Structures are given as C-alpha cells and as structure tokens.
C-alpha cells in the first residue's frame, strides 16, 4: 500500500529526477500546491499571483522507503534556508515547503526540521509546514523532464549535479537506473 507526500524546494524537475531514482518510490508527479487558484497553468503560477509552490507529489511504499528517509533526501538536496529561492529560481513558487497529508507526517516533518535539517544547515530553516489541501499536476510537457531532455542546458547545469550528489550521499537507497 502506497502513501503520498507533497513537497517543494525549488524547481520541481530537480526533485522529480531525484525521487524517481529512489527505491520504494512508485511515482513522482510535478505540479503545484499551496495556492488559491484552481487548475493553475504554469503561466498562472509564474505570473506570481496564485500563491502556489512548484512541488512534486510522491507516491511511495513506506515498507521500502520511510517518510523520514524521503525528508532526509529533501533537506539534503536543496537549501531550506533561503526564503522563496533556490539558486537562480526566485519567487514564492520556489519556496521550501512540506505539505503534510496527516498528523504523523506533520510530526515527522517537525522533528526533521528541528533535529535533522537544523543540524546540517548553519542558517535558520525557513521550510514551511502546511496542511495538504490540493495538488494540481503541471501539464504533460513538464512531466518526466530530466529523463526526456537530459541534454538540455538546464538539465546538464542544474539537475545533473543534484543527481550526482544523490548518488554520492544516498547510494544505498537508489534504484538501478540508467541515465
């Protein structure tokens, strides 16, 4: 039986590529959550008026990969200390946020913020912890981006280094995956 988590920490393409490579992950969908506009398009979100965050919705088997392990990867693979920014991506749509689906996820995320993220980052953690409400998948051209566009400049310059970092830090948790 799978569970869901919805998290954002900058560009959804990065987290999509990362979590697709982790054992126990059944699916990863790029999209938007946390806003006030129904059925947002990418143009709506990047216009800055919907309040949505770019995020991924991850379906996972907790018998294989725990929610805590998913959050360990989350806090290691992006900078949770920069408000509304990841690298060159700036705006509230790129905020660090965890949309918890139940009280167990909320408590686990609170603990991970206080005792894991705070231990690996020097600056204060600004990751928002928000009750999950709705998730809107991005359009089809935004899905599976890294795997279908590995030679694009963005993938080579931004996502490749993150995938390499994932391999270095979490090699025991990775699927056999050909890039």
109-153 per-position pLDDT tens digit: 999 999 999 999 999 999 999 999 999 999 999 999 999 999 999
Residue 148 lies in a domain: yes
Residue 116 lies in a domain: yes
Residue 131 lies in a domain: yes
Residue 178 lies in a domain: no
φ, ψ at 86 (rounded to 5°): -140, 110
Q: Give Cα separations from 130 to 8, 99, 127, 145 (angstroms).
A: 11, 5, 10, 27
Beta-bridged to residue 53, according to DSSP, are 33
Residue 94 lies in a domain: yes
Residue 166 lies in a domain: yes
List Cβ neighbours of 55 (8 Å cut-off, separation of 6 or more). 6, 7, 8, 12, 15, 30, 31, 32, 33, 34, 97, 99, 135
Q: In total, how many domains does the chain have?
A: 1
Residue-number span of the structural domain to which 156 is assigned: 3-173
Tell me the pLDDT band of 100, cut-offs 50, 70 and 90.
very high
Residue 138 lies in a domain: yes
List Cβ neighbours of 118 (8 Å cut-off, separation of 6 or more). 125
Average pLDDT score over the chain: 95
22-70 per-position pLDDT tens digit: 999 999 999 999 999 999 988 899 888 899 999 999 999 999 999 999 9
List Cβ neighbours of 90 (8 Å cut-off, separation of 6 or more). 84
**Which CATH number do you get for residue 103?**
3.30.1060.10
Rounded to whole angstroms, how far apart are CA atoms 133 and 100?
A: 9
Rounded to whole angstroms, how far apart are CA atoms 105 and 101?
A: 6
Q: Is the pLDDT of residue 178 over 60?
A: no
Whether the model pTM is above 0.75: yes
Q: Is the dihedral of CA 143, 163, 112, 175 positive or negative?
A: positive
Tokens 């931004």 -> residue: 158
Q: Is the pLDDT of residue 177 over 70?
A: no
Residue 179 lies in a domain: no
Q: 21 and 172 in contact (C-beta within 8 Å)?
A: no
Active site residues: 11
């Amino acid at each position: 039986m799978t569970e869901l988590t919805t998290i954002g920490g900058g560009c959804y393409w990065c987290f999509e590529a990362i979590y697709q490579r982790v054992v126990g992950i059944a699916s990863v969908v790029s999209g938007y959550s946390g806003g006030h506009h129904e059925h947002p398009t990418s143009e709506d979100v990047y216009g800055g008026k919907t309040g949505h965050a770019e995020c991924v919705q991850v379906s996972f088997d907790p018998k294989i990969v725990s929610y805590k392990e998913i959050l360990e990867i989350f806090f290691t693979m992006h900078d949770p200390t920069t408000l509304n920014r990841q690298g060159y991506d700036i705006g509230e749509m790129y905020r660090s946020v965890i949309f918890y689906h139940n009280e167990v996820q909320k408590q686990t995320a609170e603990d991970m913020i206080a005792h894991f993220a705070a231990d690996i980052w020097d600056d204060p953690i600004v990751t928002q912890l928000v009750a999950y409400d709705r998730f809107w998948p991005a359009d089809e051209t935004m899905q599976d981006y890294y795997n279908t566009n590995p030679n694009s400049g963005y993938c080579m310059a931004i996502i490749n280094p993150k995938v390499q970092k994932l391999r270095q830090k979490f090699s025991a948790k990775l699927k056999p995956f050909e890039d």
